[in-house]
Chain A
Amino acid sequence: MASHASMGVIEERTALAEHQAAQTFDSFYREAWLPVYRAVALGLGDFDLAAEAVDEAMTRCYERWTKVRSMANPRGWVFRVAMNWGRSRLRRRTWIGRDKVPDIPFHDPDIPDPQLVVAIHKLSHAHREVVVARYLLDMSEAEMAAAFGVPNGTVKSRLNRALKELKEAIE
């Protein structure tokens, strides 16, 4: 017989599954667009491109909604598709020597950890992506691995390296 604790987990997962099954694309879109857009904007460093990328990813999400909504983390899937799409656009810009990846404009002079913020900006795309997915979208390593199509070990290694870089930057 399942313990109370595991029953709780089962109930929680059942509730989550029911919520996901019942959730319409419209409500998912309304809830997810802005947080995913902000995550992609951070990941790509280009706001206009991020908006375009999320629109594209949401379109693909709608096409496959039956499949995507049953995923553990549909937001993660949209994030990854948008990042991939946006990064390909950035590569095209680089190809013609016109890559312009702007810094995030900071409006707030009281940023608590400026060195850390600069270090986050300096992370490679792959490392920044896992940091944003982990800390902004609250994705677990397993969810990131599933969404990014890479082994768990790769996600873990990227996250560890990214955190190591960030730690070194603020020490």
Chain B
Amino acid sequence: MTLDERVRSSVVKLAAEIDARSPMEVDRIKRRGRRRRTMKRTAWVSIGVVFFVGFAALAVPIDPNSIDPATTSDVDTVEIADLAVTVDSPSPTLSAPPVWIGAQSPEPGFDTSGLGPEIPFEPGRPSVGDLPDDVTRAVYLGDLEGEPFYVYAAKAPSIFDWFSEIIFGNFSGQVLGTSLNCCSGGDMDQNEGLPGLGYSLTNGEFDSGRAEWLGLGPDVAAIAYEIDGESYGWQRPVGGVSSVAIDAPPTSYSMVAYDAAGEVVGRFEPPPRPPGLGIGLAPGEEVLRSEPFLVVTGPDAPEPEFDTSELGTETPLTPVEDLDGLIEDLRSLWAPGTVVKMMVAGQTPNGTAGFIFHIDELRPDLGQTRSRCVGSDGGAACGGDRLAEVLARGGTLPADPRSGPNYSTPGPTDLTWETPEGTSVVTLRVGDRIWWQRPVGGLTVFDVEVEPGERFTIIALDTAGDALASFSGPEIP
């Protein structure tokens, strides 16, 4: 039997071992599809990457958060995952979960003909059946593009969302979402009240996008959208929320909030995105590619001046054989134009590549300019610049797995660790097995067998063999 036949036979046999499951009812899939990814909470690392084109300084420095819908006492508001939404009545129209009707904003009393076509919320009827099971409360704003549109709060769907809320200091245990899923949901809810524009890509291809502004005050009568220098349209907000679909990723856009008299009461205009955001070469880095993003490899760690023969088995990092494949993976997984730089440390003897890459993601509310991911083919840990500070090299590592190496369980385990400055050699001990490696670009990558119940200890040694830092992982479940 040829290798081809043996592989086919094994794969088919393996697949047959997987128990058949009953698929979801096709009508349910179609309902979900019709809602156009309605209510799907996509975090900022998902495959159909929903990301912010930009949050930054405003051309007219009006803080969107200063438009406070709760300041007018004669307006009813409800809290939706910490977002105050204006409603037409304090009593919900539907229960289980409670659903309110959003309050109409004032009618513009000025000439809107120069703002492009109106993109209105059409009146309609809310239905609890529109909402997924984990929604706890919602406000129906009307129909947009023929679909019911809600702003809603849902239970934090995963421990990831809980962690991110804790890390970013906005813990509510609820996630904020809008029906057509632009700029809220998952760990995005710390952006509530901020305008934003997001779009999703599937396999690198634009498939949908929206511009939204939430948390508008009751005096805002119209939001005018300008995209790529052209008037795109305007909308009367409902419930302090405005949302319009876009049909392509813009290179520039702005949103202007008007009151009923036509006075500008808010403006959001992100600056053009500087390519690469000025990210450059670190000392000792060598450029491998400059397209489609900057690909570099880091300097080797300093030579050890002690005998490494007692350290165990060396697992050296060597240049990545399939660099094209790695780049293509990042392009397809993280969307074109978002990865700006990748430092490739190399690959292990088993072919596992380790890397650090940077993604444009502007979130001034968090003081972030970019997300940074550290990992290997087996998975990457990502965080913004604030989180990167927590994950900074050197010093005493806190006893928190997120501040130590990334690792996956059970084995074979991919483990990546950013080593402290001055590290010459890293040792990894699991049970009575010890491996060692010289980092490249300050990153070390192991992929070793780890059995359930084992613990690992990783130690960074300087050129003299003295320990600079160490981390002991929890028991592998």
State the A residues within 8 Å of B (CB): 25-26, 29-30, 33-35, 37-39, 41-42, 47, 51, 54-56, 58-64, 80-81, 84-85, 87-88, 90-108, 111-113, 116-117, 120, 122, 124-126, 131-132, 135-136, 147-151, 153-154, 157-158, 161, 163, 165-167, 170
Q: List the B side residues contacting A26 at CB < 8 Å.
A: 26
In B425-458, which residues have CB < 8 Å from any A CB? Answer: none
Alpha-carbon separation in the docked complex, A94 to B408 (Å): 6
In B374-401, which residues have CB < 8 Å from any A CB? Answer: 375, 377-382, 401
Q: List the A side residues contacting B407 at CB < 8 Å.
A: 94, 97, 99
| Closest A residue, CB atoms, query B12 | A136
Over the window 23-54 of chain B, the binary record of Cβ atoms lying under 8 Å from chain A Cβ atoms (1 yes, 0 no) is 11010011011001100100101111000000
Known: A42-B18, A85-B47, A163-B7. 18 other contacts (CB 8 A): A38-B16, A54-B23, A59-B29, A59-B33, A60-B33, A60-B37, A62-B30, A96-B160, A98-B159, A106-B17, A120-B11, A124-B352, A132-B11, A135-B11, A149-B204, A149-B205, A150-B332, A170-B6
Q: Is B406 an interface residue (CB 8 A)?
A: yes
Select A124's contact among B32, B40, B377, beta carbons within 8 Å: B377
Binds A, one of B106-114, B240-248, B272-280, B321-329: B321-329
Q: Tell me how far the C-beta of A67 lies from the nearest C-beta in chain B, rounded to whole angstroms.
A: 10
Q: Tell me how far the C-beta of B58 lies from the nearest C-beta in chain A, rounded to whole angstroms.
A: 32
Alpha-carbon separation in the docked complex, A87 to B410 (Å): 17
Q: List the A side residues contacting B477 at CB < 8 Å.
A: 100
Say whether B11 contacts A81, CB under 8 Å. Answer: no
Q: Tell me how far the C-beta of A108 lies from the nearest C-beta in chain B, rounded to whole angstroms.
A: 6
Say whether A135 contacts B12, CB under 8 Å. Answer: yes
Say whether B377 contacts A157, CB under 8 Å. Answer: no
| Closest B residue, CB atoms, query A52 | B24
Q: Tell me how far the C-beta of A115 lies from the nearest C-beta in chain B, rounded to whole angstroms.
A: 10
Alpha-carbon separation in the docked complex, A126 to B17 (Å): 22
Say whether A41 contacts B158, CB under 8 Å. Answer: no
Q: Tell me how far the C-beta of B337 lies from the nearest C-beta in chain A, rounded to whole angstroms.
A: 14
Top 7 A-B pairs ranked by shortest CB distance? A94-B379, A62-B33, A84-B47, A97-B401, A99-B408, A33-B23, A149-B203
Q: List the B side residues contacting A38 at CB < 8 Å.
A: 15-16, 18
| Closest A residue, CB atoms, query B9 | A112
Q: Tell me how far the C-beta of B455 lies from the nearest C-beta in chain A, rounded to whole angstroms.
A: 13
Say whether A116 contacts B10, CB under 8 Å. Answer: yes
Alpha-carbon separation in the docked complex, A81 to B43 (Å): 16
| Closest B residue, CB atoms, query A101 | B408
Q: List the B side residues contacting A101 at CB < 8 Å.
A: 408, 410
Q: Tell me how far the C-beta of A12 lies from the nearest C-beta in chain B, rounded to whole angstroms.
A: 23
Alpha-carbon separation in the docked complex, A147 to B10 (Å): 24
Q: Is B207 an interface residue (CB 8 A)?
A: yes
Q: List the B side residues contacting A125 at CB < 8 Å.
A: 377-378
Say whether B13 contacts A111, CB under 8 Å. Answer: yes
Say whether A166 contacts B33, CB under 8 Å. Answer: no
Say whether A29 contacts B160, CB under 8 Å. Answer: no
Say whether B21 contacts A51, CB under 8 Å. Answer: yes
Say whether B160 contacts A113, CB under 8 Å. Answer: no
Say whether A165 contacts B29, CB under 8 Å. Answer: no
Q: Is B351 an interface residue (CB 8 A)?
A: yes
Alpha-carbon separation in the docked complex, A62 to B36 (Å): 10
Alpha-carbon separation in the docked complex, A117 to B76 (Å): 62
Interface residues of A: mostly helix, strand, loop or mixed? helix
Select B329's contact among A90, A103, A126, beta carbons within 8 Å: A126
Select B10's contact among A51, A55, A93, A120, beta carbons within 8 Å: A120
Q: List the B side residues contacting A25 at CB < 8 Å.
A: 26, 30
Q: List the B side residues contacting A136 at CB < 8 Å.
A: 11-12, 15
With A96-B160, A132-B11, A166-B7 as contacts: A84 and B43 at CB distance below 8 Å: no
Say whether B328 contacts A92, CB under 8 Å. Answer: no
With A39-B15, A42-B15, A122-B412 as contacts: A165 and B322 at CB distance below 8 Å: no
Q: List the B side residues contacting A80 at CB < 8 Å.
A: 203
Select B158's contact among A92, A106, A117, A161, beta carbons within 8 Å: A92
Say whether B160 contacts A92, CB under 8 Å. Answer: yes
Q: Tell me how far the C-beta of A134 lies from the nearest C-beta in chain B, rounded to whole angstroms.
A: 8
Say whether A88 contacts B47, CB under 8 Å. Answer: yes
Say whether B328 contacts A95, CB under 8 Å. Answer: no
Say whether B380 contacts A91, CB under 8 Å. Answer: yes
Say whether B47 contacts A154, CB under 8 Å. Answer: no
Alpha-carbon separation in the docked complex, A153 to B324 (Å): 9
In B159-209, which residues have CB < 8 Å from any A CB? Answer: 159-160, 163, 202-205, 207
Say whether A157 contacts B324, CB under 8 Å. Answer: yes
Select B45's contact among A64, A88, A132, beta carbons within 8 Å: A88
In B301-334, which residues have CB < 8 Å from any A CB? Answer: 321-322, 324-325, 328-329, 331-333
Alpha-carbon separation in the docked complex, A59 to B40 (Å): 11
Q: List the B side residues contacting A106 at CB < 8 Å.
A: 17
29 A/B residue pairs, CB under 8 Å, sorted by A: A26-B26, A54-B23, A55-B23, A60-B48, A61-B33, A62-B29, A63-B36, A81-B203, A84-B333, A88-B333, A91-B382, A95-B379, A98-B159, A99-B409, A112-B10, A116-B6, A117-B10, A117-B13, A120-B7, A122-B412, A135-B11, A135-B12, A136-B15, A149-B205, A150-B328, A157-B322, A157-B324, A157-B325, A161-B351
Q: Tell me how far the C-beta of A133 lies from the nearest C-beta in chain B, rounded to whole angstroms.
A: 10
Q: List the B side residues contacting A154 at CB < 8 Å.
A: 324-325, 328
Select A99's contact among B33, B207, B325, B379, beta carbons within 8 Å: B379
